[in-house]
A and B are shown apart, each in its own frame.
Chain A
């Protein structure tokens, strides 16, 4: 992930404390901001197609913490971190054993690994269980919102907008939040069954 010279440095407790202090003098708020910065970095690496977004996000924070521990004053840490992330993406693209594949020069397209039947069944069972925890209204909303293909889906969503009397954007956000909640619930259920590992 990193060139040999940079891999020598590792995050120390002092450096991490300094990073948190730079985010916010209040340690509780600093912790929340740290989580937010890291989540955005993970998203960014995900969007860019990195195979290990969490590892890359941690590397960005390490580099930022190192700068701060070396005495550099950073005014806007989140923006600075995003800058480091983009630099890292370029480094990875240039590296001979690049893990971040150039989007235009990737050798082979990937395919979703075959989902073992048992895992697929377990996932479906978990999803059903989580859906049952939803109110009937929310359950119908999410199932209707994501049901059907193209034209049918568009009609479904228009029907839902009329039914709830809300604009498309509001309905979309509501469906998205339900979807996120449902996916989190399903993954927790799968973890409990030992099917999914973090």
Chain B
């Protein structure tokens, strides 16, 4: 009882003092034949003090706090799902509980394989939540040399955010989503005005803050035209 009291006394103080934010990185290296590698990184390092506090609690703001074992299990599930997806190979995962950085990488034989990873999940969400998210998020036309990142904004994102309590909403204040796509060929043009082409013309980076994404002001939708 005493141990719990001390923990709560100090942890609640920490929780109210430390701010929270995180970054998501989506990186794709695309080969000429449409195959490539994908790396997704969740970096919560900036919030590690707060997360270390949260991890000592059973629940926060009515949500159950997952234990390290829970997170390990979740990552195992993701890997198992990837292993079952056609065209996905060489799956690697890393987890750093000191800095709260988690990555999953895989090779794909064609970008459409990546769509297959999330297809079922998105279908279920669309069916249960009445949303209209596209199940085709990545495509590459080797004939026209066009790489496309699709995304259909659904107002339910904004509604879900509005339903969250203010403390939870503040988590997204300094959260960013970064997409980096690297190619063998040079990039001729990009459709998303927020995307940047690297000086050597072989990569495109799009960094958007979570609040703009939630409000629909900015999108990850992008059509990248490579030189033929």
Real complex partners, A and B? no
Interface residues of B (CB under 8 A from A): none
Question: Which residues of A are in contact with B by a Cβ distance under 8 Å?
Answer: none
